Structure 1
Amino acid sequence: MSDAPATVLVYSSRPEVREAVRTAVGRRPAPDVGPLTWIECTTGQDVVDTVDGGGVDLVVLDGEAQPTGGLALSRQLVVEVADRPAICVLIARQPDRWLAHWSQADGTLALPIDPLTASQVVAGLLREHAARGPLRRPARR
Structure 2
Amino acid sequence: MQATATVLVYSDDANTREQVRLACGRRPAPDSPVVRILECATPAAVLKELDKGGIDVCVLDGEAVPLGGMGMCRQIKDEIFGCPPVLLLIARPQDAWLATWSRADAAVTLPVEPVEFARALASLLRKKELSGV
Name the % identity. Answer: 46
The question of 1:70 aligning with 2:69 is answered yes
Which deviations, in whole Å up to 9, do the C-alpha atoms of 1:98-135 show, x marking residues without a partner? 1100000001111111111111100000000111122x
1:5 partner letter: T
Residue 42 of structure 1 aligns with an amino acid whose one-letter code is: A
Q: What does 1:40-59 correspond to in 2, within 5 Å?
A: 40-59=39-58
- 1:75-94 matches, cutoff 5 A: 75-94=74-93
Give the AA of the match of 1:95.
Q
Q: Structure 1: which 4+ aligned runs deviate by more than 6 Å?
A: none
Q: Give the count of matched residue pairs.
A: 133
Contact 1:61 1:87 in 2 (8 A): yes
Partner residue in 2 for 1:23: 22
CA deviation after TM superposition for structure 1 residue 40, in Å: 0.2
Cα distance in 1 between the residues matched to 2:47 and 2:95: 23
- Measure, in 1, the Cα distance between the counterparts of 2:69 and 2:117: 17
Supply the AA of the counterpart residue of 1:129: K
Q: State the shift of 1:79 in Å.
A: 0.6
TM (norm. structure 2) is 0.97
Amino acid at match of 2:22: T
1:111 aligns with 110
Alignment check: 8 A CA contact 1:3 1:32 kept: no
User: Quick one: distance in 1 between partners of 2:26 and 2:76?
Assistant: 25
RMSD: 0.9
Deviations 1:51-88 (A, max 9, x none): 11100000000000000110000001111111111111
Distance (whole Å) between structure 2 residues aligned to residue 112 and residue 69 of structure 1 = 16
Consecutive unaligned residues of structure 1, counting only runs of 5 or more, are 135-141
Displacement, 1:3?
5.2
Give the secondary structure class of the aligned counterpart of 1:128: helix
In the other structure, the counterpart of 2:6 is: 7
TM-score, normalising length from structure 1?
0.91
Q: Following TM superposition, by how much is the alpha carbon of 1:4 offset from its aligned partner in structure 2, in angstroms?
A: 2.3
Question: What is the one-letter code of the residue matched to 2:122?
Answer: A
